[in-house]
Each structure stands twice: as C-alpha cells, then as structure tokens.
Amino acid sequence: MELWILFGTFITLLLIGTPVAFCLGAASLATVLYLDLPPVVVFQRLNSGVSVYALMAIPFFIYAGDLMVRGDIARRLVALAGALVGHMRGGLGQVNIMASVMFGGVSGSAAADASAVGGLMVPQMKERGYGVDYAVNITVVASIIALMIPPSHNMIIYSISAGGKISIADLFTAGILPGLLLALSLMVAAWFVARKRGYPTEPFPGLRVLGQLFVSAVPGIILILIIFGGVRSGIFTASESSNIAVVYALLVTLLVYRSLSWVDFLAATKAAVRTTAMVLMVIGCAASFGWLLAFLKVPASLVMALQGFSDNPIVILLLINVVLLILGTFMDMSPLIVITTPIFLPVAQAFGVDPVHFGVILVLNLGIGLCTPPVGAVLFVGCAVGKVPIWTVMRSIWPFYGAAFATLMAVTYVPALSLWLPSVFR
C-alpha cells in the first residue's frame, strides 16, 4: 500500500504538471504521513540532500558558463571550434561530445559535467542554427562519459560498497575504453541526426581567419587548459576547479576583454541562482524519495524478485541491467550503488562476472538513469541550461539513448572492453 501511495502520488502530480521537485517531495510526505512516521525526516533528507560539498561544482560550473557566455569568452571559443569543424555535419555536436571526454576528468560528476559543457555549448549551438533540443540531447547523454573516464568518485563508492576488495586503480583504468566507446557511438548518432535534419555545413574559412580566431580565443583556451590540466594531473578537486573557472572567467571578462558590464554580472548571477536552485531542489527532494525507497526496501525486493528467475548468465546480466535502469529512473546514483552492490555483485560473480567488469556495467547503467525521466539530474541540468521543457527534449533524444544503450550492451557482453586495459597496466 505504501508503495502505491508513493508512486501513485508522484505520477499523478507529475501528470497534472506539478514541478518535478514538489512531485517527489509531496509524494514522500504523503507516504511518511501514511506510515505514521515523523514527517521531519522528509525535510531532513531534503536538507542533507543539498548540503553536499561535491554538489557545489554544479552552481559554479553553471555560473562560469553563464559568465563566459555573457562575457564573450564562449562565443570566441565556439567560433574557433566552428571554424575547425564547421565543414563536418553537426560539427558542434561532435565538439560537444569531445568536450565531455575532456571534462570527464574534471568533474567525475555527470550533472556537473552537463552544467560545465552545457552552460558553454548549448547557447552557442542555438545561436549557430542548431536545434536547442539537439544541443541538449547531446549534452545530456554525453555527460555520462564523465562517469567512465577517471577520476570517477562513483567507482570509489562502488569499491567501498563492495567491501573494499576491488582495486580502485583497476576500476579507474577499466572505465576508459567503455567511456571512449560511448563517445564514439554518440558521435555517430550525432552525425546521423545532423544529416537527417540538414544542419548546415560552413566552408573552411582559411588559415588566416583561423589564426585570428585562435588569438581572440586564447584566454578561453587557457581556462580550459587550467581546468583540464589541473584536474587531469590531479591538482584540483571538482569543486575547486569549478570555482577557479568562475574566478578566471570573471577576471578575463572584467580585465582582459572588458566585455562584462555590471548589469551582465548581475544577470549572470541571478541566472546561476535560478538554474541551480531548480536543479538542486530536485536533487534534494529526490533524496527524500530515495530514502523512502531504501526504508521500504524496494531495491532489495526487486533484486529478490530477480534471483531465481533464470540460470542463464546472459539473461541474468540483461535482467540486472533492466532492474538497474528502472531503479536509476527514480533514484540517484550513489545511494543506488551503495544499496545494490552488496546484493547484485555476489549474483554477478556467481555467474563468473569479474567484479571490475561489473563495476563498469553498474556505473554506465546508472549513468543512463541520470539522463532519463521522471527523475534525472543530468536531464534536468540540460533542460535548465537550454531553457527548454523536458518534453521537447524527450521527443528527439531517442537516437542518443539508443547509442548509450548499445554501448551498455557491448560493455556488458564484451568483458574485454573493461578488463583488457587494466590487465595491461597491472
């Protein structure tokens, strides 16, 4: 009964157009009242859900992105990228995906990655004639790459949840090839969609123009080098690098380009508040909802239902993937890793799946969950930076879901994709 109330309230409110955050919050509150638990717990989870240091990268990257757009850093960077790849179909879509590969090391958080790349790329792609939905689709799904390419905090959570018996170094290395494969399949999807929609190509502008564009984009390039180099070499954490991005963007736009007025600065700050508050409110309310799912032992029951369903490893792995995709649709990534690892890993191991391989499957799978409705932090970040309704994005995102799912299947059934690289480095 309590599950009917939880999901019933949530879905009903969702359908009548209540803001997603409050669908989650009100459904949790209704269920807690029904269970006769002290309702304070809903608001405590809401508060703890947003009081997380690692989440700070989201407001900072969104803020930095907005400052870069208003202060003309973004336009110059994308102008350079456009000149380089403009002759390709959907060239900026490809750039967007490559940016996710590079920023993958920066954040390790898909939502932060979506805010970093999306805040920069989506407005510029819009301006250069790409559909907003196309820009958001790519930004959203490509940000899963961030989870796969080291450093990945989720891999660490997985290792700890598995009782610490799995080498984190191995897990980090194991994610690299699947991450690149995901990038590749998304690039193929982006090319097909761009061709189908007839996105224009631009002639190559010539080396002279390219050189001028490069010079004018230098401060932006330095920013990317600082962030990319700083985190890749491991000097900064995600929250720190996102903060450096804000400070640097302010310095460049105020002192070098002198392109940011006081009015622009205020507008950028308010925009950052709006976008961040909206996304983090969903994350906080999802923490309440997720707490109830754990309290009601939903993940455990789902897994229980799965066990004894089949003894074919291929079928079992497929079922595990399906269950994780369903759970990932409602819950956030790290609590799901913590809850499902101790239950799923022994099952997978019983069928001969290597724990490192399973970690990669788990993270990729739950990463897809971050991009799917009804609850997907990354999807919401994408909609927020693009200022488009979820529905508009949903209508055209399917080719990219398809590419991600195909990658998931390849990673699930070809263990070498995950295990070959660690074996080389060991």
Partner 1 sequence: MERVARVTGALAQLGLMLAGTGVVVMTVFIAAQVFWRYVLNDSLQWTEPAAVMIMGWFIFLGAAVGIREGYHLSFDVLLYVLPERARLTLHTVSDVVVAAFGCGMIWYGAQLAENTAGNKVPGLGISGAFDFLPIVVGGVLLVLFSIERIARRAAGLPTLRFGDDHEEA
Partner 2 sequence: ECEVTLKSSDTHPDGYPTVEAVKFMGDELKAGTGGRMCVEVFHSAQLGEEKDTIEQTQFGVIDLNRVSLGPFNNIIPETQIPSLPYIFRSVEHMHNVMDGPIGEEILAAFEAHDLVGLAFYDGGSRSFYNSQKPIRSMEDLKGMKFRVMQSDLFVDMVSAVGANATPMPYGEVYSSIQTGVIDGAENNWPSYDSSGHFEVAKYYTLDQHLIVPEVLVMSKKTWDGLSAEDQAAVRKAAKDSVPVMRDLWAAREKESEAKVIAAGAEVITDIDKTPFIEAMVPVYEKYVTSDKLKDMVARIQATE
Kindly tell me which residue out of 100, 143, 152, 407 binds Na ion, with binding defined by CB under 5 A: 152
Nearer to partner 1, 44 or 216 (CB): 44
For the chain, the first-to-last Cα distance in angstroms comes to 51
The sign of the dihedral angle between the CA atoms of 325, 327, 333, 338 is negative
* 295 interface partner picked from partner 1, Na ion, partner 2, none, CB below 5 to 8 A per type: partner 2
Does 371 bind partner 1 (CB under 8 A)? Our answer is: no
Does 376 bind Na ion (CB under 5 A)? Our answer is: yes
In terms of Cα–Cα distance, which of 401, 24, 58 is closest to 10? 24
* 383 interface partner picked from partner 2, Na ion, partner 1, none, CB below 5 to 8 A per type: partner 1
Does 197 bind partner 1 (CB under 8 A)? Our answer is: no
Q: Tell me if 2 sits within 8 A of 31, measured CB to CB.
A: yes
Does 104 bind Na ion (CB under 5 A)? Our answer is: yes
Give the Cα separation of 19 and 383 in Å (integer): 13
Amino acid in position 393: V
Going by C-beta distance under 8 Å and a sequence separation of 6 or more, which residues neighbour residue 150? 105, 108, 172, 173, 175, 176
* 376 interface partner picked from partner 2, partner 1, Na ion, none, CB below 5 to 8 A per type: Na ion
Kindly tell me which residue out of 5, 14, 218, 343 binds partner 1, with binding defined by CB under 8 A: 14
Q: What angle do CA 69, 74, 80 make, to 5 degrees?
A: 155
Give the Cα separation of 279 and 87 in Å (integer): 35
Kindly tell me which residue out of 195, 197, 258, 274 binds partner 1, with binding defined by CB under 8 A: 274
* 304 interface partner picked from partner 2, Na ion, partner 1, none, CB below 5 to 8 A per type: none
Q: Tell me if 143 sits within 8 A of 168, measured CB to CB.
A: no
Nearer to partner 2, 239 or 275 (CB): 239
Q: If you write DSSP's letter for every residue of 318-344 in order, what string do you get?
A: HHHHHHHHHHHHHS-HHHHHHHHHHHH
Question: 127 by DSSP, 3-state: which?
Answer: helix
Q: Tell me if 132 sits within 8 A of 309, measured CB to CB.
A: no
Q: Give the residue carrying structure tokens 């995901």.
A: 182
Kindly tell me which residue out of 369, 386, 415, 422 binds Na ion, with binding defined by CB under 5 A: 369
Residue 380-419 contact track with partner 1, rule CB under 8 A, x = bound: x--xx--xxxxxx---------------------------
Amino acid in position 241: S
In terms of Cα–Cα distance, which of 423, 38, 312 is closest to 320? 312
Nearer to partner 2, 129 or 163 (CB): 163
Does 347 bind partner 2 (CB under 8 A)? Our answer is: no
Tokens of 296: 């009601």
Smallest distance from partner 2 to CB 389, Å? 33
Question: 198 by DSSP, 3-state: which?
Answer: coil
Does 22 bind partner 1 (CB under 8 A)? Our answer is: yes
Residue 316-345 contact track with partner 2, rule CB under 8 A, x = bound: -------------------x--xx--x---
Smallest distance from partner 2 to CB 210, Å? 35
* 372 interface partner picked from Na ion, partner 2, partner 1, none, CB below 5 to 8 A per type: Na ion
Does 236 bind partner 1 (CB under 8 A)? Our answer is: yes
Give the Cα separation of 122 and 386 in Å (integer): 6
Does 255 bind partner 1 (CB under 8 A)? Our answer is: no
Q: Tell me if 148 sits within 8 A of 176, measured CB to CB.
A: yes
Q: Give the residue carrying structure tokens 């949840």.
A: 161
In terms of Cα–Cα distance, which of 159, 174, 166 is closest to 422? 174
Give the Cα separation of 78 and 378 in Å (integer): 22
Smallest distance from partner 2 to CB 377, Å? 17
Kindly tell me which residue out of 60, 61, 130, 236 binds partner 2, with binding defined by CB under 8 A: 236
Kindly tell me which residue out of 6, 10, 21, 185 binds partner 1, with binding defined by CB under 8 A: 21
Give the Cα separation of 344 and 300 in Å (integer): 10
Q: What residues line the site for partner 2 (CB under 8 A)? A: 37-38, 40-41, 44-45, 48, 53-54, 151, 153, 156-157, 159-164, 167-169, 233-237, 291, 294-295, 335, 338-339, 342
Q: What residues line the site for partner 1 (CB under 8 A)? A: 13-22, 25-26, 29, 39-40, 42-44, 46-47, 50-53, 55-56, 59-60, 63, 235-236, 239-240, 243-244, 246-247, 266-267, 269-274, 276-278, 280-282, 284, 373-374, 380, 383-384, 387-392
Q: What residues line the site for Na ion (CB under 5 A)? A: 104, 108, 146, 149, 152, 329, 369, 372, 376
